[in-house]
Structure 1
């Protein structure tokens, strides 16, 4: 560059100059870097997690709700089967599953999301990652889990549920069990899928078979173990405390 094309400042000078507009941090090219950083952070935090199960459920579940107690039992049962527990890290049913896992001496993971009405991770998370972007967070739920167990929940839970079913249906993931825990809550949804969606041909019986419905925590965990094969009361190949040493 010569003449008028020579810039009046150097690249280093512009980098180190703290003055001027900060609008650039909200531009799309910079967002790409933020998205990349979320994937790097998530992969780094969870890479050595080991077998895990993602548990979904409503943030609005109160501690005196039977679903909360169900969630704590589920968290403990998953730990007993050799799994870490991954949730969205929020309150309600997510907190219950984290609490059950932590109290049982297991690894309790929370993948939080930036929301205007939810503040921070619940106190029972001992490994947490916060995300700005739902799609980056959802990738972690699937990548590091051996399956999903879904407690009663609202739109967010339904979103996570049907995204998981779609990934299995389209063979984007394999051997990925999805368990709905709570027949009274989820039964109507499955009835609609059978009576309406299957009748008009938008889903078929094989699609419906991707979902397991139960009220029993042990049955829910057994469905994960049966499909996974990597944990059964302890990691395969790793002796449990009660096992004799080789």
Structure 2
């Protein structure tokens, strides 16, 4: 069965991604053919160095792919200028440089820059979008605090709120639970799940928290040295796709539990 084109938020065709180093262009993944649909929560997982961040930077338009095409809502990404991309994709990067002297409200208001006039003056619609983002992320009590006063978890929520205020069909996050303890990792995952349900946006995020991603995501983009594939967690489990993701001397995937666990000594 073919997908309804109107329901496809992101599509890649024969995508090859990589980066430039002193030896030239280095390819990290190729033949990436995926479709992402509206209102889906999707994790990008794979071993360290497989290219998760490169993939996210490529589909967000801040890094050029080596070859292939990326379409956002049936528009070729390379044909969009910076402002047009900013109305299609909200981006939250790891260690994103921000002024910690900003208040939380001011930080979230930056998400409205693609829509404000050259003075950056907020309209009634802008303030309503900001207020809604604050409400959705449950940070009303933080909106007047400075960013330097926030914990890592609170700052992550504020950055997610900024992406929501940007009001794009796609939000992309690179390792949104870095530096958070287990409770706050689960807290962020549940927040992302709630946002997909309440806003209808598509959220794509890279994560090392594979066990949590399996539990909560609609789809998983699994990056493997041999291929990149997208499917439901259930289908990936039943097909054995997780079995050889890591060397099996220390950990193994338990298909019954649907999770990785430390391998027992013989």
Normalising by structure 1, report the TM-score. 0.31
Greater relative CO (CA pairs within 8 A, separation 6+): 2
Higher share of residues assigned strand: 2
Would you tell me which structure has more helix in proportion to its own residues?
Answer: 1
The structure with more radius of gyration = 1
